[in-house]
Amino acid sequence: MIVPSPNKDRISALVGPACFVVAGGLAVATAIVAALAIERRSTEDILTALEADGIQWVDVSANGLQVFLDGTAPDEALRFRAQTGASAIVDSDRVINRLDVAALGTAAPPRFSLDMLRNGDGIQLIGLIPGPEGDEAFAVAETIADIAGSADVVNMVEMADLEAPENWDEALAYGLRALAALPRSKVTVLANRVEVEAVGETREERAEFIARLQQNQPAGVEIVLDISAPRPVITPFSLRFVRDDSGARFETCTADTQAAHDQIVAAGQAAGTTGNTPCTIGLGVPSPSWGNAVATSLEALTELGNGSVTLSDADVTLIAAQGTSQELFDTVVGELDADLPAVFSLQAILPEPELEAAAAGPARFTATFDQAQGVRLRGRLPGGAIGQSVQAFAAATFGAGTTDIATREVADLPQGWSIRVMAGLTALSQLEDGVLTIEPDTLRLSGRTGDSELISALTRQIAEDLGPGAIFDMNVAYDEALDPVASQPTPQECEARIRDIQDETKITFDPGSTEINRAAGEVLDEIAEILPDCMHVSMEIGGHTDAQGGETMNLNLSQSRANAVLNGLLARGVLVSNLAAQGYGESQPIADNETEDGREQNRRIEFRLLADAEVAGLAADVDDQPRTRAGILAEGAIADWPFELRPLPRPEPPIDDE
């Protein structure tokens, strides 16, 4: 019999508890190590994510499963962004946000502006624009580079990493469009205002610039246009004012300054004119006192009653109405001669009484003209070589085949008769239709024209041809229906007419085809009848597809179909220099591509004003990227630029000594 040792029993009793103690210690140590690993991993992951987002001012610490964010955020938005970034890494319940927000400064936000000056030497830029140096700078750089071409660009633009004011992007986009359209211009872009100053080569170009810039003006942005044209050189510098039984009117009016213009218009109103008075401001005035001379002459004519006054350079011719009192005539002429500025000379004419004038005989010459039927000459002409030269002049002016001459040769016609006839025929040939009458005491011209400026030009021409003392009567009316510019439809009307046709029948293509089928051809026939009246309007033929198929395939298909429409119009005899074909693929849907009806609407050809189409094209990104602020300004990307926008020191404002 073996008896157990008392010591061995005691050891066995201690082994069990010791194992539990050791196991517990190991479990605690493992938990501590795991907790430390979780804390370190959470801290590192959050710091990495925040730094990648440009946030480097946050201190991240952990205590167990809790993560603490400490530091000072520049603003409330960045504080929230830091918390959101940390919550994306660990559970938001574990994030303890202890961030402070820096106190807001009292300084007012900067005044953003961009001045762009363009001339023959290149483009100069100066100003302060909002946004980080990146997308905004790239977009402006791209657009300016396209505008400048090979010309130099001087950049003095500073950028502020601040949020853009409301409407800034739209104002900037419009300003860049204006700069592209105006070769000699200064464009100033402000948050809610764009100021455009430019010079056109001619008055017609000035009108074209204004018409283009008045289209597609952004909402909420004030547009100020100051478009001028060089003042014309007027030779002779002339003005003619008539008062008769039909009223008072300027037959031609010129002024050298805006002040003289206003003075002359006011004098005309005092003499009896009503409504708008067109008065050309130009160069070539014989004296700075032109406005005073005109006003004084009109006062004298008003005192006489009826008659006319003509100023040709420094010569003033006052013709009283037949039957005017000799005493009144002498008084008015004497006062006018004394009041006129020194450089001006006066010739005054009081027509003979009607009985004495009749003694000269019933001499008369008439010419009746119509653009479609030609001219018919009747009445008296001098005999011999002089009369033959007048007839040859008429045939050369109106065309031998459309000149009907049945005149009588008379030897004793008044002096200067042939000169008056040829001057009148020259003026008559420029009308749409009219009648010329030559009598011993006057030249009368009546008719219609579609040129609003021709009446004034003809008056100056006749006054120059006949001399300052000649008596003539102009009764030429402007008919807007004859004006090829005024009668043109507006760009919006052209677009609406084409849209009305397509609302009834769309231009469609066979599946996968780019050929014009019969149905599409009938639509093009109708559109081809409209486009000749819209040659002055730049339009885009936009091709669009649905979303079925690959993007590249759809883009190519839409471009081919737009080209097919353009070629179809050309085949129908339409001049297409004002049209451009552009494929957009599936990038501009107008309906849901998930339904057959929506896909049918998206498969379309659209005619749009080119300015509208350009704006729409800028908004479409073929890579299906979200539209950015830079996307308003430019489309696509170019790797190398001749310049770049970068922050530069902003010049100090001038010190006001006052």
Retrieve residue 193's tokens: 């205002």
Dmax (CA) for the chain in angstroms is 185
Query: In b/e form, how buried is each residue of 61-78, taking b as 16+ CB within 10 angstroms?
Result: ebeeeebbbeeebeeeeb
φ/ψ bin of 124: left (φ > 0), alpha (ψ from -120 to 50), beta (otherwise): beta
CATH code of the domain made up of 357-482:
3.40.1520.20
Q: How far apart are CA 585 and CA 15, in angstroms?
A: 82
Q: How far apart are CA 575 and CA 583, in angstroms?
A: 21
- What is the full DSSP assignment across 195-239? EEEEE-SSHHHHHHHHHHHTTTPPTT-EEEEEEE-PPPB-SS-EE
Kindly report which listed range (135-139, 365-369, 616-620) carries the lowest average pLDDT score. Answer: 616-620
Mean local confidence (pLDDT), 208-228: 87
Q: Is the pTM of this model over 0.75?
A: no
β-strands 307-312, 238-244 pairing: antiparallel
Q: How far apart are CA 228 and CA 109, in angstroms?
A: 35
- According to DSSP, the residues that pair with 240 across neighbouring strands are 252, 310
Q: Which of 109, 523, 455, 443 is nearest to 253 (CA)?
A: 455
10 Å CB burial of residue 175 (0-12, 13-18, 19+) is buried
Retrieve residue 353's tokens: 């009484």
pLDDT above 50 for 636? no
Query: Which 3-state string (H, E, C) describes 69-96?
Result: EEEEECCHHHHHHHHHHHHCCCCHHHEE
Contacts of 90 (CB under 8 A, 6+ apart): 42, 45, 46, 67
- What is the full DSSP assignment across 27-71? HHHHHHHHHHHHHHHHHHHHHHHHHHTT---EEEEEETTEEEEEE
Please give the backbone phi and psi of residue 95, each rounded to the nearest 5 degrees, phi first: -90, 120
Average pLDDT, the chain: 82
Pick the CATH number of 26-101 from 3.30.1340.30, 1.10.3720.10, 3.40.50.150, 3.90.1150.10: 3.30.1340.30
Q: Looking at domain 113-228, which CATH architecture does it have?
A: 3-Layer(aba) Sandwich (3.40)
Contact (CB, 8 A) for 507 and 570: no
Handedness of CA 411, 412, 416, 418 (dihedral sign): negative
Handedness of CA 218, 219, 221, 223 (dihedral sign): positive
Q: Which CATH superfamily is domain 491-627 in?
A: OmpA-like domain (3.30.1330.60)
Could you tell me the residue ranges of all domains in the chain?
26-101, 113-228, 238-351, 357-482, 491-627
The CATH topology of domain 238-351 is hypothetical protein tt1634 (3.40.1520)
pLDDT above 90 for 424? yes
What is the per-residue pLDDT across 303-337, written as a single tens digit (0 to 9) for each? 999 999 999 999 999 999 988 998 899 999 999 99
Confidence band for 630, pLDDT divided at 50, 70 and 90? very low
Q: How far apart are CA 425 and CA 366, in angstroms?
A: 10
Q: How far apart are CA 224 and CA 491, in angstroms?
A: 22
- Give the residue with greater pLDDT, 511 vs 47: 47
Say if 113-228 and 238-351 have the same CATH topology: yes
Q: How far apart are CA 629 and CA 581, in angstroms?
A: 27
Q: Which of 106, 107, 99 is nearest to 83 (CA)?
A: 99
Confidence band for 145, pLDDT divided at 50, 70 and 90? confident
Entry field: residues in the chain? 658
Give the pLDDT score at 611: 64
Alpha carbon 487 to chain centroid distance? 20
Give the pLDDT score at 261: 94
Token pair 């580079």 is at which residue?
Answer: 145
What is the per-residue pLDDT across 255-313, written as a single tens digit (0 to 9) for each? 999 899 999 999 999 999 998 888 988 888 999 999 999 999 999 999 999 999 999 99
Q: In one letter, which amino acid is 262?
A: D
What is the per-residue pLDDT across 585-618, written as a single tens digit (0 to 9) for each? 999 999 998 898 888 888 899 999 886 555 444 4
Confidence band for 153, pLDDT divided at 50, 70 and 90? confident
Q: How far apart are CA 65 and CA 302, in angstroms?
A: 102
